[in-house]
Amino acid sequence: MPGAGAVQIEQGWCALEVAGPLDFSMVGVMAGLTAPLAEAGVSVFVVSTYDTDYVLVRSTAITQAIVALREAGHTVHGD
């Protein structure tokens, strides 16, 4: 158990950045990205910022995530 003020870091995550900026009126962007990942059995952690969103997946599942997103019609760069 870490002491007061200690930070724990969990290794082994990859971040997929959603091309942005995304307007706040855009509805369903995350649903469109996370649904094919859920169907493929890939767990995610989503981080939203002012300009864009990030989908984090375990590094052990990054290839599976990229395949699932491409099969759903999404473009994935930088793999």
Cβ atoms 52, 20 nearer than 8 A: yes
Domain that holds residue 67: 13-71
Answer whether residue 53 is part of any domain.
yes
Task: Tell whether the model's pLDDT for residue 78 goes beyond 90.
Answer: no
Domain of residue 37, CATH code: 3.30.2130.10
pLDDT digits (tens, 9 = 90+) for 44-74: 999 988 888 899 999 999 999 999 999 999 9
Answer whether residue 25 is part of any domain.
yes
Beta strands in the chain (DSSP E): 13-17, 45-48, 53-58
In terms of Cα–Cα distance, which of 10, 13, 11, 9 is closest to 57? 13
Answer whether residue 26 is part of any domain.
yes
Domain count, the chain: 1
Confidence (pLDDT) at 2 = 67
Answer whether residue 45 is part of any domain.
yes
Answer whether residue 7 is part of any domain.
no
* pTM for this prediction: 0.81
